[in-house]
Amino acid sequence: MRDDIRVLLVDDQELVRYGFRLMLDATPGLIVVGEAGDGTQAIDAAERLRPDVILMDIRMPGVGGIEATRHIVAALPTARVLALTTYDLDDYAFGALGAGASGFLLKDTRPDDLVAAIRAVHAGDAVVSPRITAKLIEAAAPHLGTRRDSEASDALSELTAREREIFVLVGRGQTNAEIAANLYLSDSTVKAHIGRVLAKLGARNRVEAVIRAYELGIVGR
C-alpha cells in the first residue's frame, strides 16, 4: 500500500539484512523496498527507490555509513536515516548524527523497539538507544559542529514562550505525541512548532536540538 513506510536496509552482512527483512516484511505498515551491502550501493538505492527510512550500518568496507548518510540526507531531505551500531559508545555513530541521521540504535535492539523507532523517525521524531542517552549528550556534541554559545543563546532568545516550552520537552526526549498530550495540542501543531524551533536554533534535526538543550542548560545532564 502507498501508506506503508518504505524501508531500505543497508548492511555489509547479508545474513543481518535477511533477518531484518524477515522481521519488517511481517510487520503491518512496513515494507522493505531494497537492500544494499555498502555505502555506494546505499546511495544508488536511495536515489532510485526513494525510501522513507533507511536502516544504515555504520561500519562497512569502502564507502561507510557516515559518508552515505551525509550524501543521502543532502540529496533526499525527506528520507530519515537510522544508524545501527554494535557498541554503546561508537564514534562512528556519533559521526552519523553529525551527518544528518535521525538517531541510532544498537543492533541488539528488540524487534518491537526497532519497529517503533522506524515509525518514530518517519513521523519526525529522533531516536537514540535509551541505554546511552546521557553518554551521547556528553560525547556527540563535539562531533556536530554546533554554533558558538553566544550565537545559540541569541537564537534561543528568538523563541516564543510556547516554542521554548516545546524545546524543553524535545530536550527531555519526548515524542510529538507525548508533547501534544502534555500541552493539549494537536500533533500537527506540535510538528509545526518544532519545525520553527529547529529553524531558529539552526539545528538540522531533533538529535541536534536535544544536544543544544543540554549545551544551553535548558535541560540538566
CATH, residue 189:
1.10.10.10
Reduce the DSSP state of residue 56 to 3 states and report it: strand
Reduce the DSSP state of residue 58 to 3 states and report it: coil
| Separation between Cα atoms, residue 39 and residue 67, nearest integer Å | 7
The mean per-residue pLDDT over the stretch 182-211 comes to 85
Same domain, 105 and 152: no
* Last residue in a domain, options 119, 140, 161: 140
Percentage of the chain modeled with pLDDT above 90 = 41
* Last residue in a domain, options 121, 140, 159: 140
Same domain, 170 and 102: no
Which pLDDT score, from 0 to 100, does residue 41 have?
A: 95
Asked whether residue 90 carries a pLDDT value surpassing 50, the answer given is yes
Asked whether residue 206 carries a pLDDT value surpassing 80, the answer given is no
Asked if residue 95 is part of any domain, the answer here is: yes
Asked if residue 83 is part of any domain, the answer here is: yes
Give residue 174's domain range: 147-215
Which pLDDT score, from 0 to 100, does residue 146 have?
A: 47
Model confidence pTM above 0.85 = no
Helices (H) and strands (E) in the chain, counts: 11, 6
Which pLDDT score, from 0 to 100, does residue 220 have?
A: 60
Which pLDDT score, from 0 to 100, does residue 1 have?
A: 46
Same domain, 153 and 124: no
| Separation between Cα atoms, residue 103 and residue 82, nearest integer Å | 5
Same domain, 124 and 203: no
What pLDDT band is residue 208 in, cutting at 50, 70 and 90?
confident
Asked whether residue 10 carries a pLDDT value surpassing 80, the answer given is yes
The mean per-residue pLDDT over the stretch 156-177 comes to 86
The mean per-residue pLDDT over the stretch 18-45 comes to 94
The mean per-residue pLDDT over the stretch 10-18 comes to 93
| Separation between Cα atoms, residue 82 and residue 56, nearest integer Å | 6
Which pLDDT score, from 0 to 100, does residue 34 have?
A: 96
Asked whether residue 132 carries a pLDDT value surpassing 70, the answer given is no
Which pLDDT score, from 0 to 100, does residue 162 have?
A: 94
Asked if residue 23 is part of any domain, the answer here is: yes
The mean per-residue pLDDT over the stretch 18-35 comes to 94
Which pLDDT score, from 0 to 100, does residue 95 have?
A: 77
C-alpha cell at 62: 569502502
**The total number of structural domains that make up the chain:** 2
Asked if residue 161 is part of any domain, the answer here is: yes
Q: Tell me the residue length of the chain.
A: 221
Q: For 42-82, what is each residue's pLDDT tens digit?
A: 999 999 999 999 999 988 888 889 999 999 999 998 899 99
Which pLDDT score, from 0 to 100, does residue 140 have?
A: 55
More confident call, 114 vs 144:
114
